[in-house]
């Protein structure tokens, strides 16, 4: 007998499906869940099913949305529709939203180009991006894909396909994270920080 009793083992397996959760963490979570009241367990279960059921895709930015139509950000008339920030995943929209200064809109790619993983432009929300570009009104696109080779390739690809529409395309700056110690920055980041250095006026 090396396994837990069936209902616990089953819950452990489910927790193991979460990213970065190994055996020991899954056991810890499962036993914590056993200490929930029945009401709490039911609420957790309902939240899991509810998230699957109630979360829709925004038809404009391809981000997540609580209702059928365009999402809150796409409908927000106070935001500048002339600037679109392109991110990899819906989660990244919220990450960027923490930058309170940004008042433009978004477009969620749903991934990055990656020949190794067989991800081509057809697998990403590129068509809907081009539609938005064709519809006009976009002055600038800020590509905020992750600072990885695939993210770079994708950014370059987007810059190329948006060129015919006269849209200015930029990429988030690479550099030393604010508050970090130079000593711990890797060489590639340091090189990029050197390349992107800003001169004092």
Footprint of a copy of itself (CB under 8 A): 1-2, 4-8, 10-11, 13-14, 17-20, 25, 27-34, 36, 38, 40-55, 64-66, 71-73, 89-91, 94, 97-98
**Residue 144: exposure state from Cβ atoms within 10 A (0-12, 13-18, ≥19):** buried
Q: Rank residues 56 and 160 by Cβ distance to a copy of itself and give the closer one.
A: 56
Q: Rank residues 69 and 164 by Cβ distance to a copy of itself and give the closer one.
A: 69
Cβ 177 to a copy of itself shortest distance, Å:
16
Cβ 129 to a copy of itself shortest distance, Å:
21
Nearest residue to 96 via CA among 140, 142, 135: 142
Nearest residue to 143 via CA among 133, 132, 135, 154: 154
Cβ 35 to a copy of itself shortest distance, Å:
9
Q: Rank residues 10 and 134 by Cβ distance to a copy of itself and give the closer one.
A: 10
Distance, CA of 65 to CA of 57 (rounded, Å) = 6
Distance, CA of 33 to CA of 157 (rounded, Å) = 46
E strand spans, 51-103: 56-57, 64-65, 80-87
Q: Rank residues 71 and 138 by Cβ distance to a copy of itself and give the closer one.
A: 71
């Amino acid at each position: 007998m090396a396994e837990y009793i069936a209902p616990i083992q089953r819950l452990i397996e489910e927790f193991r499906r979460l990213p970065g959760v190994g055996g020991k963490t899954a056991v810890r979570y499962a036993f914590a869940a056993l200490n929930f009241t029945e009401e709490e367990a039911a609420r957790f279960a309902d939240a899991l099913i509810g998230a699957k059921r109630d979360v829709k895709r925004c038809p404009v930015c391809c981000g997540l949305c609580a209702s059928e139509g365009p999402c809150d950000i796409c409908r927000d008339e106070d935001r500048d529709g002339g600037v679109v920030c392109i991110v990899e995943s819906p989660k990244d929209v919220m990450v960027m939203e923490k930058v309170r200064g940004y008042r433009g809109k978004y477009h969620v790619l749903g991934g990055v180009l990656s020949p190794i993983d067989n991800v081509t432009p057809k697998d990403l929300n590129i068509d809907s991006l081009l539609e938005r570009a064709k519809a006009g009104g976009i002055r600038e696109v800020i590509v905020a894909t992750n600072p990885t080779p695939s993210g770079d390739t994708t950014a370059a690809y987007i810059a190329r396909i948006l060129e015919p529409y006269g849209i200015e395309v930029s990429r988030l700056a690479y550099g030393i994270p604010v508050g970090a110690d130079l000593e711990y920055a890797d060489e590639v980041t340091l090189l990029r920080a050197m390349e992107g250095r800003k001169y004092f006026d």
